[in-house]
Structure 1
Amino acid sequence: MRKPGQPASNRAKFWREPAFADSELLVASYATHCFPPHAHDEFAIGVISRGAQAYQDGRGQRAIMPQGRMCVINPGQVHEGRPATEEGWDYRMVYVSAEGLFRALGESGATAARTLHFPSVVIDDEETKQLFWMAHLCSESVEATQLEKASRLTAAICQAVTRHALAGRKLAEISAVPGAVRKAREYIDAHVAENPSLEALSSEAGASPFHLLRAFKDAIGVAPHSYLVQRRVERAKHLLLKGCPLRSIAIETGYCDQGHLSREFKRFYGVPPSMARR
């Protein structure tokens, strides 16, 4: 907790956990940070350890993620977050793919993995919360073995899935997306380091710029230019976790310099990439 007169600050640290489905982990303390609308390719599963986060998704659903609760966001769900209290919030998160979860559960099948979802973004389950908390701390430890890290994360995440997830309904990411939007999104994904024009997108999608903009926002939840920035920042985070130097990360993600990369990265994660690297 901040002392009287101490300025608010945001802190975040990422690392990759190859022992559990090559997932990404985050520990963060956000005093003032507000996430812009964005979506994850993976499940985002975590525990709020202090304060509370205010959540809102692209469909207008609102929730408060309070201290002592687990929080889960499904892949492809556009959402934003901000402090729900003056003190902000602290949390620990794991980002893991649906396919990674199914492998850990001993299941297979891409279709089944893509239909796995959590119906609630806030979960009240003290036992699973404690399992998750200890597993996350273990992953951060330099003394724990890979076997212990994998065992604890597998037990915690799989218990959350078996107790609180459902199957049989398609996730937002694979719901009925118009063909033109799908083509435009795939074009952006393949040209993240470039500066694709709206003309190129509309030509690839086979739709007029006006109709593509409307359809893209309706289907994906954000405009094409916002989606491009999100994908650039995500790729920058992945390269950061691989240990790549910031200068090469900026080049590979299409930024003109490290300063531009740092500003965009901070807008999404609350801290510049130099502070987020473990």
Structure 2
Amino acid sequence: MEGARSAATERPLGGALAATAGPRGAVPDEAPASEEMRAFGGVAVARRRFPPGEYVAPPASAGHLVTLHLNGPVPGTWQPAQGRARGYVEARGDVIVVPAGTGCRQAPHAESEDLSVLVPDGFLRRVAGEAGADPDRLEVLHRFCARDEQAERIMLSFLPEIETGGLGGELYAEGLANAFAVHLLRHHSSLGERARRGIARGPAEGSGLSAHALKAATDYVGDNLAGGLSLVELAAQANLSPYHFSRLFKRSTGVSPHQYVVRERVRKAEELLRGGLPVAAVAREVGFADQGHLSRHTKRLLGATPGEILAEGKAERAGGGEAAGGGA
């Protein structure tokens, strides 16, 4: 199975997991650097395009690689590290799961575009342990051209993070990474049925954070809006694992930790804007990446831009001053 690009120079995946590789890890020289892996919340993600040719991926010892096919039907040849080559037609939305420690050869016959998520084995085992499963019994299962709509939805949620350089923030990225790891455990691992039901069910139905734990977490958010606010930090306030904290917090508040933090940042931003603080300073004060990030969320939650809120506050203060002067 010698293709026109079988001699292409292999290049390690970028990001925090640069020493690992997965399917199509042999990236052609002409592939743009922006397509390298980038770390997000405990996993590494890349959107990559591959011209027709053969790509050889050595066994990846550090992580399980999941790819989502993004463009139209692409025929080709696939050969696992230990197995015979076979033809395939990869359709849009098809998912491939390659467990850690396995390699492959893949030869698309037309340009192929994929979204890849590399899940470190240690991260997946940690999430399994937090969810009540036995990490020592965990084995990720190989999948090829499978349909998995939930995995597709989660993976596509990483795309805006790639395009904006993680604009959603660390807390959002961690939530996505944990959700994806749990999905991989539920649907693409060898965990027994009993353990799988436990992961799916989670904490007892109707339970939530204790009043003390909820107050500790929300007080921490209020005191640290300008900072990064990671899921690990919030979970520590409640003495829980990130996995259990996320589930119990949502049961207590009706929103995810990330959604709660965004709402609190917008609430505080509105207060500061109405008080006359400049937009750029408000964005920094409440932890948004920039004015555009702040504007996107105020328009979504309040129906107004920061400039409009600032102007409204100025008018309100002027009106209040005139009323006070008139009554003097």
TM-score by length of 1: 0.48
**Bigger radius of gyration:** 2
Larger relative contact order, structure 1 or 2 (CA cutoff 8 Å, min sep 6)? 1
Report the TM-score when normalising by structure 2: 0.42
